[in-house]
Amino acid sequence: MEGVTKIKDLSPSSRRVNVLGGKVLNVGEPKVIQTRFGEEKSVTEVVIADDTGKITLSLWGDQASQASQGQTIYIDNGYITLVKGHMRLNVGKYGSIKEGPEAVDEVNEELDMSEKEYEPSSGTAATTGAARGGSRGGGETAPSTEGTTTTRTSELLAH
């Protein structure tokens, strides 16, 4: 297994990662969702952990049958997406999921990498609106409009 990434080292921009997912802690119930392309697909959320932390893994369609509670899995060529601002590990059509080569006994359940909320376009941790200072999505600050409405209104009244 070349280039294995530890769960704690995953970030919203992680692509083409190999994760020895360690132990499958929980396999959720499959849900049917509508994709952004309008098609319905089944997704099952699975919580996996290694010795550094845990993350939620989204398994699509038949992939869900490849993970069972207590099993050790290996994800080849996975990637991270943000679902409502939270990281999800995925196995796309160019990746694979298989049984890990050895059992993982010690796991860190304290650090949940899917718990932190990120700004979808910037990949930085989200904070409250007041603390953001008016930033919108991509980390851009909204231009100041102070005084422009008054000026425009007075110009309209003068004509």
Q: So where are the chain's domains?
A: 7-134
Over range 120-140, report the average pLDDT.
43
Angle at 120 between CA 118 and CA 123, to 5 degrees: 55
Task: State mean pLDDT over 103-127.
Answer: 81
Q: Categorize the per-residue pLDDT at 46 as very low, low, confident or very high, splitting at 50, 70 and 90.
A: very high
pLDDT at 156 > cutoff 80? no
Please state whether beta strands 54-60 and 31-34 pair in parallel, antiparallel, or not at all (unpaired). Answer: unpaired
pLDDT in tens, 50-96: 999 999 999 999 999 999 999 999 999 999 999 999 999 999 889 99
Chain-centre distance of CA 147, in angstroms? Answer: 40
Residue 113 and residue 135 in contact, taking contact as beta carbons nearer than 8 Å: no
Backbone angles phi, psi at 27, to 5 degrees: -115, 115
Q: What's the confidence (pLDDT) of residue 132?
A: 34
pLDDT bracket for residue 141 (50, 70, 90):
very low
Measuring CA to CA, how many Å separate 14 from each of 7, 77, 112? 11, 10, 16
Q: For residue 122, what pLDDT is reported?
A: 56
CATH superfamily of 7-134: Nucleic acid-binding proteins (2.40.50.140)
The yes-or-no verdict on residue 40 having pLDDT over 50 is yes
